[in-house]
Amino acid sequence: MTWTPEPRVLVLTRARDETADYVLRELNRRGVPFMRTDVADFPLRTALSAELRPEGSWRGALTGASRALALEGLRAVWWRKPTPFGFPSSMSGPERAFAESQARRAVGGILGSSPEVLWVNRPEAIADCTKPRQLSAAAAAGLTVPETLITNRPGDVAEFAERCGGRVVTKSLGSIRYSGEGKNGRLYTSQVPPHRWNDPRISLTAHLFQREITDKAYEIRVAAVDGRLFPVVIRAPEGPGRLDWRRDIDNLNYTSTTLPTAVEEGIHTLLHSLGLVFATLDIIVDTQNVHYLVDVNANGQWGWIDQTHEPIIHALADLLEKGTR
Amino acid sequence: MHSLAVSRLPISSLQAGDQEAGPLATRPFGLDLLTVLPEDSWSEPVVTVHPVSQLSQIGDQICIESPEFRSSGSLLTDTSARPGGQEDEDG
Ligand SMILES: Nc1ncnc2c1ncn2[C@@H]1O[C@H](COP(=O)(O)OP(=O)(O)O)[C@@H](O)[C@H]1O
Ligand SMILES: [Mg+2]
């Protein structure tokens, strides 16, 4: 076992996470000791043992294959992309459910109870950053948000769409990943033409409809780290990437930019109200220079954009190194 | 400071579903947006964590130090483009 001196930073993520790797390489360069583990490593590869102290703190250790972390030294947790607890495959469904319930309460409860620890981000803040909540918080923070309807009443869509000049899009309320029927797919933002407005299958669950920004000039992806903003203009060539740039990820053009002060201030207020120290945000800018906030990703990706790659690595490393103190 | 809301830990499963689709009459409208990704025979490599650097590695190659694992889209869409792959874009 390679024993590093008292890790102060815990990084929870899956084995393959290049985005995290860039920051971890920087922490290595700085000599900041950290422990990396996946939630999936518990209980078979990572052990947790903690005892309640009379004054209320948990004293103990998280011990992995190559590193161990004393809970009392922990100052920052980076919640990246962990995967589910890994139990022996011979457990039955109910046995697994019990084991999972025990593990969630123990791991989440012990790590989450220390006031000394900075979370990037608190997992419940990530979980609560739903589209309805973020759009409401964005509007309250003074940012411009396109008109949005969430409904399972097909009849309400036509009236809304007409108010939006007949041009509306729909997008997933959650992950854009969908896998089923043995295939992997993506739920990209799509236009909803008039003949679909009354589709009875809208009633089968909640759906989000939004005014389409038809005179899009360009889009901006902003990473926010501990109050610092890293905005980049994204331009997609003519084609499907114009509506949703992820459809044309290999042909996008990126340029550094700065945001209007009012938008910067709105973002700070928004992230404060969502309880996030890190996020990536999606903004659409129209030909009148109106900045529409459309999305807050509490655990968004940023590593692939060269223009902001290095500064974000340093900002995240600064934040994790600093921790609570 | 309050404790974590443990029932809400956002932990994403990487399992690709292969259950069959239900009847069209009860298929949610939102799934009509689905763009099915091309089947890819490329199988997901076994990724481990390097014990000293703690960085992701495939075989004995550190992922971020080997050009073949770096492509512009890979850090956003990453391995999700492949069946059984891992990345969720955002969120
Ligand atoms: N109202 C809209 N009008 C035009 N394009 C949009 C609109 N909303 C989103 N898009 C495009 O779709 C992309 C994805 O939408 P977004 O709101 O970021 O949701 P998510 O990333 O959760 O799917 C955006 O980055 C943008 O390119
Ligand atoms: Mg988005």
Mean pLDDT, range A140-164, rounded to an integer: 98
* Residue A3 located in a structural domain: no
Q: How far is CA A143 from CA A65, A260, A261, A266, A295, in A?
A: 47, 11, 11, 6, 12
Estimate to the nearest angstrom the gap between the alpha carbon of B36 and the chain centroid. 15
Residue B79 in this model has a pLDDT that exceeds 70? no
- Residue A68, domain extent: 8-120
| pLDDT at position B13 | 61
Q: Which of A282, A285, A293, A297 to mutate to test the pocket of ligand 1 (most atoms within 8 A of CB)?
A: A282
Same domain, A54 and A135: no
* Residue A12 located in a structural domain: yes
Same domain, A84 and A104: yes
**In DSSP terms, which residues pair with A47 in a beta bridge?**
A63
Name the pLDDT band for B37 (thresholds 50, 70, 90). Answer: confident
Q: Residue A271 is encoded by which pair of tokens? A: 């992230």
* Amino acid at residue number A243: L
Give yes or no for A14 touching B (CB within 8 A): yes
Domain boundaries, chain B: 44-91
Query: For the whole model, what pTM was predicted?
Result: 0.91
Name the pLDDT band for A142 (thresholds 50, 70, 90). Answer: very high
Residues contacting A237, CB < 8 A, separation 6+: A248, A251, A253
Same domain, A29 and A177: no
| pLDDT at position B84 | 29
- pLDDT tens digits for range A257-278: 999 999 999 999 999 999 999 9
Q: Residue A81 is encoded by which pair of tokens? A: 């992309």
Give the domain-ending residue among A120, A136, A170: A120
Q: In terms of Cα–Cα distance, which of A192, A200, A195, A201 is closest to A149? A: A192
Residue B17 in this model has a pLDDT that exceeds 80? no
CB contact under 8 A, A112 and B3: yes
* Residue A111 located in a structural domain: yes
- pLDDT tens digits for range A38-90: 999 999 999 999 999 999 999 999 999 889 999 999 999 999 999 999 999 99
Residues of A in contact with B23 (CB under 8 A): none
Closest Cα in chain A, distance from residue B41 (Å): 13
Same domain, A113 and A141: no
Same domain, A133 and A250: yes
What CATH number is given to the structural domain containing A155?
3.30.1490
| pLDDT at position A183 | 82
**What angle do helix axes A306-322 and A18-30 make, rounded to 10 degrees?**
60
Q: What is the DSSP string of A171-208?
A: E-SS-SEEEETTEEEEE--EEE-GGGTT-GGGGGS-EE
Q: Residue A240 is encoded by which pair of tokens? A: 């499907």
Residues contacting B6, CB < 8 A, separation 6+: A104, A105, A107, A108, A109, A112
Closest residue by CA, ligand 1 atom 15: A189
Same domain, A135 and A274: yes
Q: Which atom of ligand 1 has the smallest separation from the CA of A292?
A: 1
Its ipTM equals 0.85
Give yes or no for A109 touching B (CB within 8 A): yes
Of B5, B17, B48, the CB nearest to A180: B17
d(CA A156, CA A255): 40
The nearest alpha carbon in chain A to B51 belongs to: A66
d(CA A188, CA A184): 13
Residues with CB under 6 Å of ligand 1 are: A 146, 169, 171-172, 176, 189, 210-213, 219, 243-245, 282, 284, 294-295; B 90
Give the domain-ending residue among A212, A236, A261: A212
| pLDDT at position A184 | 84
What CATH number is given to the structural domain containing A19?
3.40.50
Same domain, A110 and A259: no
| pLDDT at position A289 | 97
d(CA A13, CA A316): 15
User: Could you give the strand order of the β-sheet that contains B34-36, starting from the edge strand earlier in sequence?
Assistant: A177-180, A183-187, B34-36
Closest residue by CA, ligand 1 atom 1: A212
A12, exposed or middle or buried, with CB in 10 Å at 0-12, 13-18, 19+? buried
CB contacts < 8 A (A, B): 219
Mean pLDDT, range A128-139, rounded to an integer: 97
| pLDDT at position B2 | 46
B residues 12-51 lying closer than 8 A (beta carbon) to A: 12-21, 25-37, 39, 47-49, 51
Name the pLDDT band for A141 (thresholds 50, 70, 90). Answer: very high
* Residue A87 located in a structural domain: yes
Per the structure, how many domains does chain A have?
A: 3
Q: In terms of Cα–Cα distance, which of A213, A202, A169 is closest to B31? A: A202
Strand ranges (DSSP E) for chain A?
Answer: 9-12, 34-37, 47-52, 58-63, 68-70, 76-79, 118-120, 148-151, 168-171, 177-180, 183-187, 190-192, 207-211, 216-225, 228-235, 253-256, 278-286, 291-297
Same domain, A274 and A324: yes
DSSP state of A170: E
Give the domain-ending residue among A120, A135, A161: A120
Residue A139 in this model has a pLDDT that exceeds 60? yes
* Residue A289 located in a structural domain: yes
The b-or-e profile of A35-57 (16+ CB within 10 A means b, else e) is bbbbbbbbbeebebebeeeeeeb
The least confident of A56-60, A227-231, A310-314, B39-43 is B39-43
CB contact under 8 A, A184 and B19: no
Of A79, A178, A247, the CB nearest to B31: A178
Q: In terms of Cα–Cα distance, which of A88, A81, A146, A169 is closest to A286? A: A146
- pLDDT tens digits for range A194-232: 999 999 999 999 999 999 999 999 999 999 999 999 999
Same domain, A128 and A235: yes
Of B13, B35, B48, the CB nearest to A185: B35
| pLDDT at position B78 | 43
Ligand nearest the Cα atom of residue A186? 1
Same domain, A18 and A94: yes
Residue B73 in this model has a pLDDT that exceeds 50? no
Residues of B in contact with A2 (CB under 8 A): 51-52
Same domain, A101 and A127: no
More confident residue, A324 or A10: A10
Mean pLDDT, range A155-168, rounded to an integer: 97
Quote the ligand 2 centre to A201 CA distance (angstroms).
25
Q: In terms of Cα–Cα distance, which of A14, A78, A19 is closest to B69? A: A19
* Residue A1 located in a structural domain: no
Name the pLDDT band for A187 (thresholds 50, 70, 90). Answer: very high
Q: Residue A317 is encoded by which pair of tokens? A: 């490393």
Q: Which atom of ligand 1 has the smallest separation from the CA of A131?
A: 22
The least confident of A48-57, A89-98, A149-158, B77-86 is B77-86
Residues of A in contact with B15 (CB under 8 A): 179
Quote the ligand 2 centre to B13 CA distance (angstroms).
20
Same domain, A139 and A237: yes
* Residue A200 located in a structural domain: yes
